Amino acid sequence: MSERTNKLPIYAVIFTVIFKLLFLLTHHIQEDAFITWRVAQNLMDYGVIGFNGDTKISASTTHLYVFVSYLFNIIFGKECFIEPLLIFNSILFTIGSLLLSHLLFKNPWHKAIFIFLFGILPPSIKISILGMEYGILFFLEMALLYYGLKKEKKWALIVLPILILFTRIDTVIFLGIVFLVDVFWNKKIRWSYIAGGVLGVSIALAFNWFYFGEWVNNTIVAKKLLYDKNFTFSQDVEYFITNYGNFWGMLKLPGNFNPFTIIVLIFELVCFIFLIRQKEKRNYFLWMIFLFGWAKQLIFLSQKSLFDWYYWVPQILLFVPVLVFVLEQKVKRNIWLFLLIIIYILPMTIFQTIHSIATGNGEWNYRRSIGTSLNFYEKDKSQWILLEPAGYVPYFSGLKTIDEVGLVDKQIQNEIKKDKKNYWINTVKNRKPKYLLSYNDLFKGKDAEYYKTHYRLLEEFRIKDHLKSENTILEKIYRLKPSGTDYNLYVRIK
């Protein structure tokens, strides 16, 4: 095989990264990314990992990504770091897919096609471009499988679990599944891997305890406190039926029944069973990624975790057997590949493109405008705003922030514990934030008189005002899938 053929996977990485960079034009960036970036900038400005001045708080779910974002802010500046960081995330994710291809294929052509098709699936695009920590995380996890288990490098078995757990503590699920499959497959224990896992958990927990005075991230505590619900068995079943389609199918459709997801799920299972019946070394890694995909989805769904980014990595890993199955067909492979691209890959990419354009408009053009408007209006950045969510508006306004969930401000959690039903109005009365940003009309309802007495409506923000464009196609997309929520902004008068 020629040297040029052997380099095909590298060429595929470069081409895939360049292709996905087109999505930067959509400005589709996840709200929570701006929480992490504000924490990073708070570290720059105050020398403290926090969100509001010199108050320490683990407002971001990821510590490692905070430090990476901090470095990019230092290197490129606050005004210019976002695009380089998104490109960096995309490169890391695609290198991770290169490492995964080395675990699954021998043929360079198969590797190259896999890298591109895998890289343009909706979750892959979101991991790469939306600004979250999953690009780094996916790279680290695939590096662990490749260097730690395939190449059997002891340094990888020790160092990479530490970095993985310092990125997200819930990666114990991934590390645990990998450990169990490795033990059952090889009938031995890798003590270096045990050491890496123990060190990873110890360092993550110790950092939280000695820096923040808590064992787990505040984000986990806050979400559990506000979203905690007691369900009966029948309610659990109904909840699952309502939400499963958002996670396994890569495609969010309205309604409780999503047959498309069921078809994809069954095909993934059939392909996986077909592949593991063959005696191939790569089955070792297929078991790992497939079991992890199922375990992560079921555990998080059972905990009522509806944030879709939790499911991005499991979604794409569960689809891996389909790509392997199609690429390794010896009879009519081109027909199989053509059908896969036409029936699934291409429609999914088109769907993600439309989704990113629409959501980018609703987030970047609309929600960001609320923050920039406040930034222009209020020059005193020591003033407080109460709102939800804590991403775009706090980042672009620069104001101190109380969010409804308590991700970036712990004091509101005490109000939730005391009186969950009335915690919002109690926070307003006790802390008197200068600004309130609400989905609702606060001048209507049981507390209307208090709001009318102490606040005035400063501005109404309406998503319908942002569904226009000089480009006819863009306007049709904005109206086809409007993204955003109407807000009312209030300012305190006394």
pLDDT tens per residue across span 408-424: 888 888 888 888 888 88
For position 230, what pLDDT does the model report?
64
How large is the average pLDDT for residues 364-377?
A: 90
For position 17, what pLDDT does the model report?
95
Residue-wise pLDDT for 309-342, tens only, equals: 888 899 899 999 999 999 988 888 888 888 888 9
Q: For 56, which DSSP code?
A: B
Residue 94 has pLDDT above 70, yes or no: yes
d(CA 320, CA 467) in angstroms, rounded, equals 37
Residue 44 has pLDDT above 90, yes or no: yes
How large is the average pLDDT for residues 232-242?
A: 66
Query: Which of 20-24, 157-161, 186-190, 260-264 bottoms out in mean pLDDT, i.e. has the lowest?
Result: 260-264
d(CA 82, CA 277) in angstroms, rounded, equals 45
In degrees and rounded to multiples of 5, residue 421 shows phi and psi of: -70, -35
Q: Rounded mean pLDDT of the chain?
A: 88
pLDDT confidence band for 248 (50 / 70 / 90): low
Query: Which of 88-92, 176-180, 373-377 bottoms out in mean pLDDT, i.e. has the lowest?
Result: 373-377
For position 407, what pLDDT does the model report?
85
Residue 287 has pLDDT above 90, yes or no: yes
β-sheet bridge partners, residue 455: 492
- Do the bridges between strand 487-492 and strand 435-438 make them parallel or antiparallel, or are there none, so unpaired? antiparallel
Contact 120, 19 (CB under 8 A): yes
For position 242, what pLDDT does the model report?
62
For position 240, what pLDDT does the model report?
67
In angstroms, the Cα distances linking 282 to 41, 99, 137, 328 are 43, 13, 22, 13
* Cβ count within 10 A of residue 433: 22
For position 218, what pLDDT does the model report?
80
Specify the higher pLDDT residue, 464 or 249.
464
For position 239, what pLDDT does the model report?
66
- Tokens 């514990």 sit at which residue? 417
Residue 229 has pLDDT above 80, yes or no: no
**Selection from 103, 101, 136 nearest residue 115 by Cα:** 101
Residue-wise pLDDT for 8-20, tens only, equals: 999 999 999 999 9
**Selection from 129, 142, 197, 124 nearest residue 165 by Cα:** 197
pLDDT confidence band for 253 (50 / 70 / 90): low
In degrees and rounded to multiples of 5, residue 259 shows phi and psi of: -60, -30
How large is the average pLDDT for residues 356-360?
A: 89
Residue 255 has pLDDT above 70, yes or no: no
Q: What percent of the chain is predicted at pLDDT more than 90?
A: 48
**Selection from 24, 23, 22, 55 nearest residue 38 by Cα:** 55
